[in-house]
Amino acid sequence: MLRPADETSGQLVTVRAIESILDVSEDDVGATTSIDLSNADERLEEVRQEVNELDERRDDLRSRQRDIEERLGQMELFADLGIDLDLLWGYDSLSVLVGEGDADGIRAALASAEGIDGHEVFSGNDSVAVFARERDEDALDDAMVGVPFTEYTVPEETGDPESYVADLENERQQIESELERVENELETLKLEHAGFLLALEEELSIDAEKFEAPLRFATTERSFIVEGWVPTRRYETVVSTLRDAVGDHVEIDEIERASHTSAGHPGHDAEHGHEDEAAATDGGEDVAADGGTAVEADGDTEVATDGGTNGNVVTVPDDPPVIQRNPDIVGPFELLTKAVNRPKYSEFDPTFTLFLTFPLFFGFMIGDIGYGLAYLALGYWVVNKFDSDGLINFGKIVMWLGVFTIVFGVLYGEIVGLHFFEWFGSHPPLEKGLSDSVTPEPEGWAFFWLIAAVILGWLHLNLAYLFDFVEQYQLHGFKEAFVEVGSWLIALNGLWVFVFSKFLAGAKPDFLVGSGAILDEGPFHLGFTGFPEVAGMIGAVAFFLGIGILLLGPWYEAFEFAVPLAHPLSYTRLTAVLLAKAGMALAANLLYWGAYQDEEGFHFMHTYDPNKTPEHGEVLFGGLSNMGTPVDIGPVAVGIEGALLGLPVLIIAHLVVLAVGGTAAIQAIRLEYFEFFEKFYEGGGKNYQPFGYDRAYTTDT
């Protein structure tokens, strides 16, 4: 039997207030079974009285503690003077000021002041006492104007202030002990009653929602109508649950089923459709407002139908709500999607593509085992330090960034800027274009990564336009999809086929097409010198054809004709950050280790002692680690003084590189939001919030 609404609300407020005082959380309960609430009212009253008494006692002790701290601070000032308290007050002919200030400045101010016949200034380490005989009223106050001084009220006490300090410290210790005892009693109450309080809050919240539910229903004298969205896969469960609860006193109709149609909005479908579509229900006479009928949905495109009156009339037209359903491994990246907006029912959820590409972009730019381990540790710390779902998901994303940074670090053979493959006389599979290992033409890698970034952008944008094409086809049909999106696909691919073709090769950079193309003679010797001339001609025609088709639809978008060129080029920021980070790490290591160059290339001094074998190469910079008295460490010698003094410099330099390298995430997410999302994603979907409550501590009896 439900309690009256006002009683339920009042008890719910009481429970939540007690939980706030005790700082109760789900972690204080752990794994639980259903908790008995048969004597909830009596137990709640007992807990309330105990908690309130202890809380009031704690507040009183904290107030006394603050008062003693304030008095103790002032009394320590008087004790610093070394003057008995009764000598600081009670004079008829002397004015006394005690506080903190500049004793010399006060003496100078009093010496030049008019209206003062005599004065004396006493000072301790932090305190000042001023005694003055005033000829004129307020002369001492006037003299102190402009002098740094903070006055304290002198208590009308007698005796040595140090004894008062000792007494106050003893009283403070007693209060702290009593406060600790009260805190322990409150903690004991929390551990004893946390499960009960959370279970009671859950039960009261469910009752309160049941009381509020009829306010959202259309009612008559003898019946009310309930309409709302439920996932299609749960439709039969909703029907059977309602009929089991009220028998024949309910009429249920599925009045609308959301689906992607060429009408541009969720359409009506009286028949049961796909599992990922949604059905609407309409409750009729004598329907019980029971929270137990709520249905949880767990599909990324599952929505519920919008109910109304008999005859399949939608009384409250609205868009179907959306549930994002992604695997647990992908779920944290929903945080990045929702930073833009929740996807609408008619849109693709881009979370999975974010999971595939965002860490990839970041790892490619940083590519260092040492930095990757740092990002991994940072993400792990965030996940375990904070309780907020948002921060936990953020930490998991950072961990993924760390994993991809480590993977690329292995491929680049780099750890905190050092190329460890060289230590074993080998070479990494990939290089960044700035290297201390054997690389006859490191700039070949830099050009290769520029081209690779553009090709990656080309493919990434094709995927975005394909998403948009499918969405527009489902909503508006093939013609509009072809004009509004197909035109951009044709223009994008036509332009870049032309760019990578031999047509007009003389007007293109040598590293792009021809016998010297980076994809032909570059690091991987792919043998690609460019598409045939005829393909380039077709591509050029396709570009202008795409722009022309666009004029048949939203013609104003034709002013953005440079987008197919500019947006893929924007992906070269990946290579720019790659080279910038590599250069910063190189500078940090060069400063500490020094470097030499031989016929094989550039090397750090950690593999070379110029004092022993200078004929091996030309020393470019000796480095901090080689300054001072040489000490043999394994196969090399280092200057012990320089190595120790330069170590903080090396650590700080790499911390700066680590922090600046973290901004690569901004560049990566910018490509996702402004180049990729912009093509197909708008957002603005409504979150699915079903009527009802997930029970964690109680059962539905």
Number of residues in the chain: 701
Helix (H) or strand (E) holding 415: strand 414-415
The first and second tokens of residue 106, run together, are 């006060």
Pairing state of beta strands 313-314 and 414-415?
unpaired
Q: Distances in Å between the alpha carbon of 218 and those of 280, 284, 439? A: 16, 10, 77
CA 321, 327, 332: angle at the middle one, nearest 5?
A: 80
Query: Helices 442-476 and 563-570: crossing angle, nearest 10°?
Result: 130
Q: Domain span at residue 604?
A: 575-680
Residue 476 burial (10 A CB sphere; 0-12, 13-18, 19+)? middle
Contact in structure between 287 and 224 (CB atoms under 8 Å): yes
Report if residue 419 sits inside a domain. no
Look at residues 497, 484, 400 and name the one whose alpha carbon lies nearest to residue 458: 497
Report d(CA 598, CA 585) in Å as an integer: 21
Same domain, 201 and 239: no
Helices (H), 477-602: 478-481, 487-499, 518-521, 533-550, 563-570, 573-593
Number of domains composing the chain:
4
Contact in structure between 278 and 232 (CB atoms under 8 Å): yes
Contact in structure between 354 and 672 (CB atoms under 8 Å): yes
Look at residues 294, 261, 155 and name the one whose alpha carbon lies nearest to residue 476: 261
Which amino acid belongs to residue 431?
A: E
Report if residue 490 sits inside a domain. no
Report if residue 146 sits inside a domain. yes
> Quick one: pLDDT at residue 690?
76
The pTM of the full predicted model, rounded to 2 decimals, is: 0.68
Same domain, 40 and 186: yes
Report d(CA 366, CA 662) in Å as an integer: 8
pLDDT digits (tens, 9 = 90+) for 412-445: 999 988 888 877 778 889 988 875 443 445 568 9
Same domain, 64 and 184: yes
Same domain, 186 and 63: yes
Same domain, 579 and 673: yes
> Quick one: pLDDT at residue 272?
36
> Quick one: pLDDT at residue 187?
92
The first and second tokens of residue 65, run together, are 């503690």
The first and second tokens of residue 171, run together, are 């009283």
E strand map for 211-292: 218-219, 223-231, 252-258, 278-285
Q: Which residue has the tokens 């054809």?
A: 545
Same domain, 233 and 292: yes
Q: Distances in Å between the alpha carbon of 391 and those of 227, 379, 383, 397, 639? A: 36, 10, 7, 10, 45
Q: Three-state SS string across 638-674, please?
A: EEHHHHHHHHHHHHHHHHHHHHHHHCHHHHHHHHHHH
Classify 379 in phi/psi space as left (phi over 0), alpha (psi -120 to 50) or beta.
alpha
Same domain, 193 and 222: no
Report d(CA 135, CA 139) in Å as an integer: 7
Same domain, 580 and 676: yes
Three-class DSSP category at 205: helix
CA 650, 656, 660: angle at the middle one, nearest 5?
A: 145
CA atoms within 13 A on the CB side of 618: 7
Q: Which residue has the tokens 């004793």?
A: 103
Report if residue 541 sits inside a domain. no
Report d(CA 197, CA 205) in Å as an integer: 12
Query: Helices 640-662 and 369-385: crossing angle, nearest 10°?
Result: 60
Same domain, 24 and 135: no
Identify the segments of the chain with pLDDT beneath 50. 1, 262-312, 436-440, 612-614, 635, 637
> Quick one: pLDDT at residue 555?
83
Which amino acid belongs to residue 574?
A: L
**454 φ, ψ to 5°?**
-65, -45
Report if residue 264 sits inside a domain. yes
Same domain, 186 and 228: no
Q: Which residue has the tokens 């223009």?
A: 491
> 329 forms bridges with which residues in the sheet?
none
Report if residue 491 sits inside a domain. no
Same domain, 190 and 133: no
Q: Which residues contact 345 (CB under 8 A, 6 or more apart)?
A: 258, 260, 266, 301, 303, 319, 320, 321, 322, 685
Contact in structure between 636 and 603 (CB atoms under 8 Å): no
Report d(CA 685, CA 320) in Å as an integer: 8
The first and second tokens of residue 406, run together, are 């480590």
Q: Is the dihedral of CA 616, 618, 623, 629 positive or negative?
A: positive
Domain stops at, among 314, 344, 360 = 314
The first and second tokens of residue 590, run together, are 């060069």
Report if residue 377 sits inside a domain. no
Same domain, 170 and 63: yes
Report d(CA 535, CA 502) in Å as an integer: 9
Q: How many CB atoms lie within 10 A of CB 691?
A: 18
Report d(CA 361, CA 372) in Å as an integer: 14
Domain stops at, among 314, 339, 364 = 314
Report d(CA 226, CA 255) in Å as an integer: 12
Report if residue 175 sits inside a domain. yes
pLDDT digits (tens, 9 = 90+) for 663-689: 899 999 999 999 999 999 988 888 887
